[in-house]
Amino acid sequence: MLDTLTMFGFGPEGWGPAMLRAAANTVAVAAAGFALGGGLGILVAWAKIAGNAPLRWLAAAYTTILRGIPDLLVIYLFYFGSGLLLTPIANMFGVEGFVSFPGFVAGMGAIGVVSGAYHAEVIRGAFYSVKAGELEAATAMGMPRLLKFRRITLPLVARHALPGLGNVWQMVLKESALISVTGLVEIMRQAQIGSSFTRQPFTFYFAAGVLFLTITILSGLIFNRLEHRYSRGRA
Amino acid sequence: MDFEFLGQTFLKLLPGIPVTLELATLSLLLGACLALAFAVIRVRRIRPLNWLVIGYVYVFRGTPLLVQMFIIYYGLAQFPEIRNSFAWTYLREPYWCALLALVLNTAAYGSEILRGALLSVPRGQIMAAQACGMSGFLLFRRISFPIALRQALPAYGNEFILMIKATSLASLVTLADVTGIAARIIAETYRPVEVFVAAGTIYLAISYGLILLVRLAETRLNPDQRDPAPVARVDAARKEVTP
Amino acid sequence: MNQMTPHAQPDPIQPSAVSVRGLRKRYGALEVLKGIDFDARRGEVVSILGSSGSGKSTLLRCINMLEIPEAGTVTVDGTEIALIAQRGGGRQPADARAMDRMRARIGMVFQDFNLWSHKTVLGNVIEAPTHVQKRPRADCITEARALLDKVGIADKADQYPSRLSGGQQQRAAIARALAMNPTVMLFDEPTSALDPELVGEVLRVIRALAEEGRTMLIVTHEVNFARDISDTVVFMNEGVIEESGPPEEVFAAGNNTRLARFIEG
């Protein structure tokens, strides 16, 4: 027990600071991917709601495919796929060997593209749960399209989407563990490093689990507060 | 895109399909049994098991599956007591470790789905069964459970798809499932696009087959909703195929 | 100095507040409006009666182009909204901004209120004045509070709509429409979604507005109310206007059996 305390302490021998930095990386890459996915999700939801036939077809294909293929494969595609683009360029400049996006960018891209499919479904569902009359009232007041979207549609959709977005965030957070395969030093990768160094895999993976659990609990609390705050006026 | 290479990759991936399917089927079956037990404990509030299940579900849904799998496969070896016990025969095998992690994980999610379904069984239908003299296990087996099952099926179908995707994590504890083989080919050839297309197609085919099965089960279980619009159902199915 | 006085007489120089010519609207095979001609003078209160499906709500919704008619013209306050044919049938506004400007001058009160649920009552009332008319926020708030006082819910300004009764919500919606200082007010069955005991409070507010000399078009099922407050009553049936005139004439005539049946309920 004392050993474990020293090991995760902040002393010269301790792994504590490294694990916390890794946790910050996890949150950063998950948040970046979540934001990217949110932008993508808005576009795809818009294509599904208001697009013409080819756009709707593309959007349906995107959400179906990305929700049916393992995230790990998507991460490999982004990590090694970026190598296809970057390696020839790097070699041209005299850099030898395989060059790809840094793990953070590849991971953010993969998480963004995967979560975009889930975001899109959440946003589309939220849009359809907004009362059509509230949008029509804005039209009847003479609001131009963009103003109506910004002042009325977006806030109403956001309120209905918030619980669903909370779920997507929790999912993204857990999927981010897979980005360890790119070598990005997030929680899982740091735990791997620690366990091979100390030969105490259980201790380190357990610590990783505790960190993840802490982050999910904290973000759950934050989303609850947001929901409470933005659901004012909801029946 | 190099179609010859695509074809070769596809053939190389085929041996991974049984591994993926087996992991998915076994974990879903075993996981569902466990999930049902957990759900009943929660709904009946059987103390103190109730509290244990709540904690269990919370932890397994709050941490990544990869963490759970690594704790079981890499982590447990840290303890000599486990290495010397009979369980080690299984726990040193990546296959059983992956399966155990998948079962425990899906049981947590599944129990919440089934709990919701059991709670949504209309009170009146249970009272009607009680009025007929049913109670206990008979009432559960003949009335509550069948009604809950129909309620749970769409959500559980979703869980099926998620679990097929989740089996890919087994490749990270060295198993040669579809993703495991795909990762090896990518590392050897640096041709991620073709490999992604080939492996992705396989996963989509499996998921789609599963969706059909779930839909078939829904139709069978809900004869009252079966007849009115067979045409609409075909249309809906066609819409799913398009991608 | 100003010789112009409010009057309810037709004026050859001043255009009508609302003028509709040859209006046709269909949904698929169903023709809902079969060529409507209709005028409302400034300051006139027009009630539009008719059984459900007679096209009265559609007529109202065509006036502010929530429904785009296939044929015919709508002119509000002398300005006609130009509609151009679009590909694949139907028409669309030639100039979306001109249409928005016109809509901003027409107040609409809906059957089911349609207050924005993410804003307080006050937020609902000042939304369009501050963002569409871009008037100073402080002025809008002062004016909004006065309007809320006028419709009798000043104490509800900071509540969210879901906390209000149906009658209060509808009065808030009326205040919201008035805040744009519209030339015409459209009421689309304003009391149909209300519990009977709440109808009175809304009708009282509408009556007060009528007495101010506002131009108002009211689609309603409240026959007695229509008779009381209207300058003109229009009776619609199956997409055409069957009777139109001062209430005493329309109701006294008794020559239209369908109208008689409608009045008797």
SS3 string, chain C, reads: CCCCCCCCCCCCCCCCCEEEEEEEEEECCEEEEEEEEEEECCCCEEEEECCCCCCHHHHHHHHCCCCCCCEEEEEECCEECCEEECCCCCEEECCHHHHHHHHHCEEEECCCCCCCCCCCHHHHHHHHHHHCCCCCHHHHHHHHHHHHHHCCCHHHCCCCHHHCCHHHHHHHHHHHHHCCCCCEEEEECCCCCCCHHHHHHHHHHHHHHHHCCCEEEEECCCHHHHHHHCCEEEEEECCEEEEEECHHHHHHHCCCHHHHHHHHC
Asked if A83 has any chain B CB less than 8 Å from its own CB, the reply is yes
Verify whether the Cβ–Cβ distance B64 to A174 is below 8 Å: yes
Nearest C-alpha neighbor of C114 from the set C164, C178, C192, C173: C173
C-alpha distances (whole Å) from C211 to each of A23, B49, C207 are 69, 72, 6
Q: Identify all chain C residues contacting A138, using CB atoms and an 8 Å cutoff.
A: 116
Of A1-10, B91-100, B121-130, C164-173, minimum mean pLDDT range: A1-10
Tokens 């901003």 sit on residue: C104
Asked if A68 has any chain B CB less than 8 Å from its own CB, the reply is yes
> Taking residues B29-39, what's their average pLDDT?
94
Q: Identify all chain A residues contacting B182, using CB atoms and an 8 Å cutoff.
A: 73, 76
Of the pLDDT bands very low, low, confident and very high (cuts 50, 70, 90), residue A12 is: low
Instruction: Give the range of the structural domain holding residue A196, as residue numbers without chain letter.
Output: 20-230
Would you give the end-to-end CA distance of chain A in angstroms?
51
pLDDT of residue B48: 86
Q: Is the peptide bond before A17 cis (omega within 30 degrees of 0)?
A: no
Mean pLDDT value across chain C = 87
Instruction: Give the range of the structural domain holding residue B207, as residue numbers without chain letter.
Output: 3-241
Helix (H, G, I), strand (E, B) or coil at B5: helix
Q: Identify all chain A residues contacting C119, using CB atoms and an 8 Å cutoff.
A: 233
Query: Positive or negative, the Cα torsion across C212, C217, C221, C223?
Result: positive
Verify whether the Cβ–Cβ distance A68 to B161 is below 8 Å: yes
Q: What count of residues does chain C have?
A: 265
- Spatial separation of the C-alpha atoms in residues B133 and B37, rounded to whole Å: 25
Number of CB pairs < 8 Å for A and B? 129
Verify whether the Cβ–Cβ distance C116 to A156 is below 8 Å: yes
Residue B52 parent element (H or E): helix B49-62
Verify whether the Cβ–Cβ distance B64 to A76 is below 8 Å: no
State the total domains in chain B: 1
- What percent of chain C has a predicted confidence (pLDDT) above 70? 92
Residue A20 CA from chain centroid, whole number: 19
> Taking residues C75-83, what's their average pLDDT?
88
**Closest chain B residue to A169, measured at CA:** B62
Cβ(C35)–Cβ(C73) below 8 Å: no
* C8 within some domain: no
> Taking residues A21-34, what's their average pLDDT?
93
State the total domains in chain A: 1
Nearest C-alpha neighbor of C15 from the set C45, C54, C41, C49: C41
CA-CA-CA-CA dihedral for B129, B134, B136, B140, to nearest 10: -50
pLDDT of residue B231: 44
Verify whether the Cβ–Cβ distance B77 to A80 is below 8 Å: no
> Taking residues A186-213, what's their average pLDDT?
90
Asked if A180 has any chain B CB less than 8 Å from its own CB, the reply is yes
User: What strand order describes the sheet that includes C18-27?
Assistant: C30-40, C18-27, C71-76, C79-80
**Closest chain B residue to A65, measured at CA:** B204
* C75 within some domain: no
Verify whether the Cβ–Cβ distance A139 to C103 is below 8 Å: yes
Residue C48's CATH number: 3.40.50.300
Of the pLDDT bands very low, low, confident and very high (cuts 50, 70, 90), residue B236 is: very low
Q: Identify all chain B residues contacting A74, using CB atoms and an 8 Å cutoff.
A: 196
**B7: which 2 tokens?**
């074809």
* C77 within some domain: no
Nearest C-alpha neighbor of C151 from the set C80, C203, C95: C203
Verify whether the Cβ–Cβ distance A141 to C180 is below 8 Å: yes
Shortest CA gap A144–chain C (Å): 6
pLDDT of residue B225: 65
Asked if A125 has any chain B CB less than 8 Å from its own CB, the reply is no
Asked if A140 has any chain C CB less than 8 Å from its own CB, the reply is yes
Give the residue, A6 or A211, on which the prediction is more confident: A211
**C228: which 2 tokens?**
């009381």
Give the residue, B216 or C262, on which the prediction is more confident: B216
Tokens 């109701």 sit on residue: C251
Verify whether the Cβ–Cβ distance C110 to A136 is below 8 Å: yes
State the total domains in chain C: 1
- Judged by 3 or more CB pairs under 8 A, whether C touches B is no
- Spatial separation of the C-alpha atoms in residues A173 and C230, rounded to whole Å: 63
> Taking residues A225-229, what's their average pLDDT?
85
> Taking residues B161-189, what's their average pLDDT?
91
Q: Is the pLDDT of residue B95 over 80?
A: yes
Q: CB C58: neighbour CB atoms within 10 A?
A: 24
Beta strand pairing call for C71-76 and C79-80: antiparallel
Cβ(B178)–Cβ(B140) below 8 Å: no
Q: Is the pLDDT of residue A26 over 70?
A: yes
* A4 within some domain: no
pLDDT of residue C249: 86
Q: Is the pLDDT of residue B201 over 50?
A: yes
* C125 within some domain: yes
Could you tell me which residues are beta bridge partners of residue C216? Answer: C45, C185
Asked if A178 has any chain B CB less than 8 Å from its own CB, the reply is yes
C-alpha distances (whole Å) from A105 to each of A25, B69, C56 are 12, 26, 59
pLDDT of residue A9: 64
Residue A226's CATH number: 1.10.3720.10
Q: CB C14: neighbour CB atoms within 10 A?
A: 14
- Give the ipTM: 0.86
Shortest CA gap C45–chain A (Å): 20
- Spatial separation of the C-alpha atoms in residues B144 and B123, rounded to whole Å: 10
pLDDT of residue B233: 41
Of A14-28, A95-109, B195-209, C107-121, minimum mean pLDDT range: A95-109
**Phi, psi (deg, nearest 5) at residue B175:** -75, 145
| pLDDT tens digit sequence for A139-167 | 999 999 899 999 999 889 988 899 899 99
Could you tell me which residues are beta bridge partners of residue B42? Answer: none
**Closest chain A residue to B167, measured at CA:** A70
Label residue B141 exposed, middle or buried (CB < 10 Å: 0-12, 13-18, 19+): exposed
Q: Identify all chain C residues contacting A227, using CB atoms and an 8 Å cutoff.
A: none
- Spatial separation of the C-alpha atoms in residues C216 and C183, rounded to whole Å: 9
pLDDT of residue B241: 35
Q: Identify all chain C residues contacting A143, using CB atoms and an 8 Å cutoff.
A: 100, 128, 131-132
Q: Is the pLDDT of residue A61 over 90?
A: yes
Q: Is the pLDDT of residue B232 over 50?
A: no
Provide the residue type at A136 as one letter: E
Shortest CA gap B166–chain A (Å): 7
| pLDDT tens digit sequence for C186-239 | 999 999 999 989 999 999 999 999 888 889 999 998 888 999 899 999 999 989
Helix (H, G, I), strand (E, B) or coil at B175: coil
Residue B184's CATH number: 1.10.3720.10
Nearest to C110 among A133, A147, A234 (CB): A133
